Chain A
């Protein structure tokens, strides 16, 4: 098994536990505070990994051409996180997770628009399955 698959599985397991514990945590604490604590912990760990792997060269490779994309990607991540911490207080963990799966569907169509990537028919049909399955779980 490739290393990235194993890392990906552990990452998915970690993400799943986050949704479960976030849902449980919102019984005791406001979702905004929850999000703040989570973001600080992620930022610290990411900074540690970045410093360990690349030293202080966080900006290495960054140029004016890529800066707008980094800013746009970060803004989109921020909006997505803020919405996530709001929905986790309103609905169940499985429904919140099902809605998150739409991100992959959006990414395929947005990659076609912004990056000019081709999507196979299998991917497009797969995205329809995901939307239908999400509808079953959410509605």
Chain B
């Protein structure tokens, strides 16, 4: 018996991603005192790149070789935002404690909520609004 169907496979993947992101924050907090936040970031992203190359090679037989023209603007903006967001996160780690940096980073959810409606046309439901409010209350409690 499968625990998760193909449609729900994102749930265990998401929990795994969050678990390892949490573990990474803990290890980063140990090393950030030794080398700079950007230095920690360089190591993290370099290893991530190696792992993603592994995933790419594993999936390479099924991956489309050409990139559609329509994808290029999204790729460029996304790569730029990712670079800016990540670099600033590691710089923030130089000035604030890890918990403070992580707490401010939680604002991501509010921005995602707004942009998902505007850019992607995702529907707002009572459940998603209630969930967001609970998440925000939880984040504020954790910040204090």
CA distance A86 to B59 in the complex (A): 12
Q: A14-B81, A25-B71, A29-B71 are in contact. Are A46 and B50 (CB under 8 A)?
A: no
Residues on the B chain within 8 Å of A98, using CB: 109, 131-132, 135
Q: Quick one: which of A63-79 are within 8 Å of B by CB? A: 63, 66, 69-79
Do B56 and A33 touch (CB < 8 A)? yes
User: Total A-B pairs in contact (CB under 8 Å)?
Assistant: 430
CB A99 to nearest CB in B, in angstroms, measures 3
Across-interface contacts of A77 in B (CB, < 8 A): 20-21, 24, 44-45, 47-48
Q: Nearest Cβ in chain B — how far from A104, in angstroms?
A: 5
Chain B residue total in the interface (Cβ 8 A): 109
Q: Which residues of B contact A85 (CB under 8 A)?
A: 52, 55
Main secondary structure of the interface of B (DSSP, over half): helix
| Cβ A132 vs Cβ B24 within 8 A | no
A66 vs B140: C-alpha distance in the bound complex, in angstroms?
Answer: 32
- A93, B82: Cβ atoms under 8 Å? no
Residues on B lying within 8 angstroms of A by beta carbon are 7, 9-11, 13-31, 34-36, 38-53, 55-56, 59, 62-64, 67-68, 70-71, 74-75, 77-92, 95-96, 98-113, 115-116, 119-120, 122, 127-128, 130-142, 144
A-B contact pairs, 7 of them (CB 8 A): A8-B89, A15-B108, A49-B38, A54-B38, A103-B102, A107-B22, A133-B136
> What residues of chain A have their CB less than 8 Å away from a CB belonging to chain B?
2-5, 7-25, 27-30, 32-47, 49-50, 53-54, 58-63, 66, 69-87, 90-111, 114-115, 122-123, 125-138
